Amino acid sequence: MSQLAHRIYIYTFVFLVVLATVYLFYRGIPYYSTSEVERFYHPDHDLFKPSGAFGHGLGIIGTLMVLFGVFSYMGRKRYRFLVRLGRLKYWLEFHIFLCSLGPILIMYHTAFKFGGIVSISFWSMVAVVASGVIGRFIYIQIPRTIEGRELSLQEVKEMKTNIGTFIQNSYSLDQESYQAILAATTASPQREGGNLFSRIVHKYFEDGRNIRAVKRILRANKLSGVDVRKVTKLIRDEMALNNRIDRLQTMQQLFKYWHVAHLPFAIIMLIIMVIHVIVTITFGYRWIF
């Protein structure tokens, strides 16, 4: 998949999630904003209630999305014969799409009424989605190959380029400017103290200040706008790689702990979801068939 095709792939998923959310909110807000006591008399009650044609359909489609998203991604990771069906990173992105849109549909299926044993499944689903967002953040902090394999520390270090030599050979900068740019690019350890999030935020703003300082230096040396953008991009990439190297072991450890937290909620959600479906069918609830 080319870079353009991959962007279209991602933007399509984002568009579909946003479109579905906006449509369901716009279409159902008159009913969902009505108090539970008065909903029975609402003209759309038979349509939007959890057992109604629309509400029930959202639950079925959302459940199928979650189940397919979970088990297809698990299968892609475990079974070798699925390797030919696309890179793991694309399957992960598809998994995230289905497990983002599915819970949204399920939420509207409930008509925002959470009670009984089903509420455990719902809040477990919320915990799974929330932990999934955190897990995605941790995941992208760990450098990987284009196929999605996690890189070792040595492999990441080998990705570093000698940016100082490139700038020195490609542009005519005075020695003071060259040293200032090199100092901004050189990896510096994250500050001690505080939690990981605060250290990441502090480093983010520090890198931003360094980038702005580099831009001023390049412009002072009369580089063209194209060259300024080119060098700035190289420096941003180098800073990002330095930060990943600095946080690699921490992120790898966090990712292991994340699996311990994410999996139990997913299992609870799936078990109660299956029980809910069985009970629904047992009591004779049908959709459009």
What confidence score (pLDDT) does residue 147 get?
53
Summarize the confidence of residues 175-199 as an average pLDDT: 67
* Nearest in space to 132 (alpha carbons), one of 100, 168, 172: 100
AA letter at 273: M
Query: 265 by DSSP, 3-state: which?
Result: helix
Summarize the confidence of residues 117-139 as an average pLDDT: 78
Alpha-carbon gap, residue 27 to 151, rounded angstroms: 46
Distance of CA 10 to the CA centre of its chain: 11
Lowest-pLDDT range of 14-18, 169-173, 210-214, 263-267 = 169-173
Alpha-carbon gap, residue 113 to 76, rounded angstroms: 35
Q: Are 99 and 129 in contact (CB under 8 A)?
A: yes
Summarize the confidence of residues 19-40 as an average pLDDT: 88
What confidence score (pLDDT) does residue 17 get?
92
Summarize the confidence of residues 8-20 as an average pLDDT: 92
What are the pLDDT digits (tens) for 223-232? 788 888 888 8
What confidence score (pLDDT) does residue 189 get?
52
What confidence score (pLDDT) does residue 3 get?
77
What confidence score (pLDDT) does residue 21 get?
92
CA–CA–CA angle 212, 217, 223 (5° rounding): 110
Query: 144 by DSSP, 3-state: which?
Result: strand
Q: Are 236 and 184 in contact (CB under 8 A)?
A: no
More confident residue, 51 or 12: 12
What confidence score (pLDDT) does residue 20 get?
93
**pLDDT over 80 at 8, yes or no:** yes
Task: Give Cβ neighbours of residue 150 (< 8 Å, ≥ 6 apart).
Answer: 142, 143, 144, 252
Q: State percent of the chain over pLDDT 90.
A: 8
What confidence score (pLDDT) does residue 171 get?
74
Q: Are 88 and 76 in contact (CB under 8 A)?
A: yes
12 pLDDT band (50/70/90 cuts)?
very high
What confidence score (pLDDT) does residue 190 get?
53
Summarize the confidence of residues 26-32 as an average pLDDT: 87
Structure tokens at 148: 């999605």
Lowest-pLDDT range of 184-188, 236-240, 262-266 = 184-188
Cα–Cα distance list, 64 to 31, 130, 185, 273 (Å):
25, 20, 48, 11
Cα–Cα distance list, 285 to 52, 104, 281 (Å):
10, 22, 6
Question: For the chain, what are the domain ranges?
Answer: 3-151+253-282, 153-247
194 pLDDT band (50/70/90 cuts)?
low
